[in-house]
Amino acid sequence: MTTATDHPTRVALLDAGTQLAARDGLHSVSINNIVHHANLAKGTFYVHFTDRTDYLVALHRGFHDRIWASVARVTEGQEAGRARLQRSVNAYLDGCLGEPLTRAILFDARSEPAIRNEIDLRNLAASKAISRDLKTMGMTSPAETARLVVAMTADIAVAEHEAGHKLPPLRTAMLRLVTPR
């Protein structure tokens, strides 16, 4: 069955935007470019999305849903603590490496008012999960530290994405900071 959100043309539009964002950055994801890349008429865009904001939100949700699914897969049933934190971070970073949109979402998208709110919400959720791990580990300021872990992780994700492969020195440097010696 073809529901509203997985209609093939809608998917084609999202795919086109993903490729454009990965190649030339989020600013190149204009409706003109999207439909041209997808070999569709301009009007078709508005059959599947109410406006550009709607489209960007969909793009962002797809990205984060996939990443979070892989994080959830790895932390399922794990109790809070050092090991879970490490697993979460690694799963997140591995997920980002496989996502064409990583750079566009984590870097360019911050200035897109359309997505800003979405990003803040996701970051907050991630921060809360990490906070629980840190609390269990006996960290002094779990909430504040969790926020910093989110910032560092995003930075590493972009660095790895640009490098095209994992950067273990950065990952271990972060884990060393967060792990009491």
Q: Are 89 and 171 in contact (CB under 8 A)?
A: yes
Residues with Cβ within 8 Å of residue 149, at least 6 apart in sequence: 85, 89, 127, 130, 134, 174, 178
- Of 19, 26, 49, 61, which lies in the binding site for its own copies, with binding defined by CB under 8 A? 26
Residue 51 contact partner, candidates DNA, its own copies, none, CB within 5 to 8 A by sort of partner: DNA
CA 167/CA 148 separation, integer angstroms? 19
Residue 1 binding DNA, by CB under 7 A: no
Residue whose CB is less far from its own copies, 10 or 171:
171
Residue 111 binding its own copies, by CB under 8 A: yes
- Of 27, 42, 73, 128, which lies in the binding site for its own copies, with binding defined by CB under 8 A? 27
Residue 167 binding DNA, by CB under 7 A: no
Q: Are 143 and 131 in contact (CB under 8 A)?
A: yes
C-beta of 18: minimal distance to DNA in Å?
A: 15
Placement of tokens 């900071």 in the chain: 177
